[in-house]
C-alpha cells in the first residue's frame, strides 16, 4: 500500500513539474521568440527551426510569427516544400492574423 501511495505521489510531483516546464510567461515567450529570430538572422536555421517549433507547439501569441520565420528559415535552406507547408499551416490556423498578407 505504501509503495502505491509513493507511486501516486511521484506521479503527481511529475505532473506539477511538467506543468511548470510547459507554463510560459509572456516575457519568456517573447525572449524565446526573439532568440529564435536572431538565429534565423544569423543563418543558424536548424537551431532556429527547433526553437520556432517549440513556440508553434505552445500556440501562444508568438505562434503565427514563429510559423512565418520557420517558413523563412526553410526557404533559405532551399526546402521550398517545407516552407510552403508552414505557410499553409499559418494561413489555416491564423486566418485573421494581421500580417497574413506579408506572409
**Does residue 15 belong to any structural domain of this protein?**
no
Asked if pLDDT for residue 96 goes beyond 80, the answer is yes
Kindly report the pTM of this predicted structure: 0.73
Residue 1 lies in a domain: no
Beta carbons of 83 and 72 less than 8 angstroms apart: yes
Q: In this predicted structure, what is the pLDDT of residue 16?
A: 46
- What three-state secondary structure class fits 49? helix
Q: Centre a 10 Å sphere on the Cβ of residue 50 and count the other Cβ atoms it contains.
A: 13
Cα separation of 53 and 69, whole Å? Answer: 10
pLDDT in tens, 40-95: 999 999 999 999 999 999 888 999 999 999 999 999 999 999 999 999 999 999 99
- For residue 85, give its domain range: 26-93
Residue 102 domain-assigned? no
CATH, residue 76? 1.25.40.10
Count of domains for the chain: 1
Give the model confidence (pLDDT) of 11-46 as tens digits: 444 444 434 444 445 567 788 999 999 999 999 999
Instruction: Give domain status of residue 63, yes or no.
Output: yes
Measured CA to CA, the distance from residue 97 to residue 103 in angstroms comes to 10
Amino acid at each position: 500500500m505504501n509503495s502505491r501511495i509513493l507511486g501516486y505521489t511521484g506521479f503527481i510531483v511529475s505532473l506539477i513539474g511538467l506543468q511548470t516546464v510547459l507554463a510560459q510567461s509572456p516575457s519568456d515567450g517573447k525572449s524565446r521568440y526573439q532568440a529564435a529570430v536572431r538565429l534565423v538572422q544569423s543563418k543558424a536555421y536548424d537551431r532556429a527551426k527547433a526553437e520556432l517549433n517549440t513556440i508553434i507547439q505552445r500556440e501562444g501569441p508568438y505562434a503565427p510569427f514563429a510559423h512565418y520565420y520557420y517558413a523563412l528559415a526553410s526557404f533559405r535552406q532551399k526546402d521550398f516544400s517545407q516552407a510552403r507547408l508552414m505557410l499553409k499551416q499559418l494561413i489555416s490556423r491564423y486566418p485573421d492574423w494581421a500580417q497574413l498578407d506579408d506572409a
